[in-house]
Amino acid sequence: MPDGAAPIGNGCADLFSQDSVRTYAIDIDQAEWQSLDAEFHDIAALQATGNEFATYHPIVFHLDQETVNASIKLHGASSWLQAIMFDGDRAKMQFTIAFNKTDPNAKFHGLDKLTFDMPRSDWTFMHDRLAHAWLRQSGIMAGCAASARLNINGKLYGLYVVEEEVSRRVVAEFFPNNADGDLWKGGVQPETSPAKANYTRIDSFQHATDLASISAIVDLDGSVHSWAAEAMLNDADGYYGGFHNFYLYDQGQKGYIFLPQDLDATFDWLALFDLPGANDHPVFWWEARAKPAPQAGPIWPVVMADSGWRKKYADAIADVLSHWDVAQLQGWIDTWSGQIAADVPADPHAWATADNFNMAIQKAREIVASRADYLRTFVDCENGAGEDKDGDGARWCDDCRDDDPSIHIGAAETCNGVDDNCNGTVDEGCQ
């Protein structure tokens, strides 16, 4: 557990009770809805700017007998683009709903915002819900999450995971002794205090290229623990798994800590939509992925090239394995999938069938156990029990290709279309 982090306790608002699936509703003026829909279909703007062009639109928000004024905007980026490209009229919007746009002090059940998240590649309809629950229980920062239905202008629009956006409240829960630092999405976008963000300091982080400069500004002990948690979740889309979705939190003198963010490509995802299944290598995760594979972030290969930090990373995986209760996680999957089983075929914007859903649920249950088994073999290898099948001096846990003695950490890159030095980049420096 990162130093200063708080366990889950009972820190979630009542909206995130896991006992039932709640139904939210919004009313939106037809002209505003048409404007929102036009934004959703603006592929050129989405590809040019990500979701930065999305704007808020006024709505009336309902939950049971409560009614408040709020604002809505589109959420997502790559999942948004995939929905538009592949799903036609069934393409499903994802939303952020803010309660504080008109009145900066307004909240709903203590929250500034809610995100209704459901990318098309989550056939379980609850990756984020599962991942957030386990991370919070393990003392790693994540907002609260639950399943929810959303009605728009009197009609069911779809099934979602409704999430608490990471805010000062969430930061303070997990970093109670240091709650005022900058939070950066992807290491570039200030999230909690944009007007006060320390751009000079984040620039120093972005220019850290060797282990000494990285260690001077990054809390590597805390970060390898977070990466170990992502590896445990079989994440295909974080700093572990894809250099795509992550937070950096500035702890001041202690340095930046990497934290998980946007965990919808977890559990069964690598089994259903890629090649590794449960056996995604904890260090060289790109090697078995479908090509072109995601590229490692610049800090990852520097840290993992150091044998001491690989050992600390293995120790962190051993620690998160101790928090990975297979029976508990499979119980969550069984109970929560039962709660939403009737909502999946009823969702008018669902991309997955009931058969897809049932298959993914079964695969997620299997991955919960098999991922843990595989990572135990990795830890055992790092502790001296691993084989070196190709005889290059590196056990399989320290080798991205244990079938070729010319490929290993520290090998010369020979411009041959192969990642000879196991840093996640093919033929760097070649013309």
pLDDT tens by residue, 262-280:
999 999 999 999 999 999 9
Let me know how long the chain is. Answer: 431
8 A C-beta contact, residue 377 and residue 370: no
8 A C-beta contact, residue 63 and residue 71: no
8 A C-beta contact, residue 2 and residue 178: no
Question: Can you give the pTM of this predicted structure?
Answer: 0.95
List pLDDT tens digits, range 295-308.
Answer: 899 999 999 999 99
Strand segments (E) across 367-429: none
How far apart are alpha carbons 29 and 48 in whole angstroms?
Answer: 28
**Mean pLDDT computed over every residue of the chain:** 94
Mean pLDDT of 9-13: 76
Q: Is pLDDT of 80 > 90?
A: yes
Confidence of residue 10 (pLDDT cuts 50, 70, 90): low
DSSP state of 276: -
Q: For residue 255, which of 218, 200, 286 has the smallest C-alpha distance?
A: 218
pLDDT value at residue 5 = 40
Residue boundaries of the structural domains of the chain: 14-168, 394-424
Share of the chain above pLDDT 90, in %: 90
Q: Cα(first)–Cα(last) distance of the chain, in Å?
A: 44
Residue by residue, DSSP assigns 123-144 as TTS-HHHHHHHHHHHTT-----
Query: Facing residues of 398 across strands?
Result: none
pLDDT value at residue 274 = 97
Structure-model confidence comparison of residues 217 and 2, the more confident one: 217
Beta strands 145-152 and 22-27 are: parallel
DSSP state of 10: T
Q: Is pLDDT of 7 > 60?
A: no
pLDDT value at residue 136 = 96
- Position of tokens 């948004």? 80
Q: Is pLDDT of 430 > 90?
A: no
pLDDT value at residue 6 = 39
Strand segments (E) across 118-203: 145-152, 155-164, 183-185, 189-190
pLDDT value at residue 38 = 96
pLDDT value at residue 431 = 67
Whether residue 194 is preceded by a cis peptide bond, meaning omega within 30 degrees of 0, is no
Q: Is pLDDT of 158 > 70?
A: yes
CB atoms within 10 A of CB 7: 13
8 A C-beta contact, residue 376 and residue 319: no
Q: Is pLDDT of 217 > 50?
A: yes
How far apart are alpha carbons 313 and 300 in whole angstroms?
Answer: 11
pLDDT value at residue 210 = 97
Backbone angles phi, psi at 308, to 5 degrees: -65, -40
pLDDT value at residue 192 = 86
Mean pLDDT of 98-108: 93
List pLDDT tens digits, range 348-400.
Answer: 999 999 999 999 999 999 999 999 999 999 999 999 999 999 999 999 999 99
pLDDT value at residue 160 = 98
One-letter amino acid for residue 417 of the chain: G
How far apart are alpha carbons 317 and 302 in whole angstroms?
Answer: 19
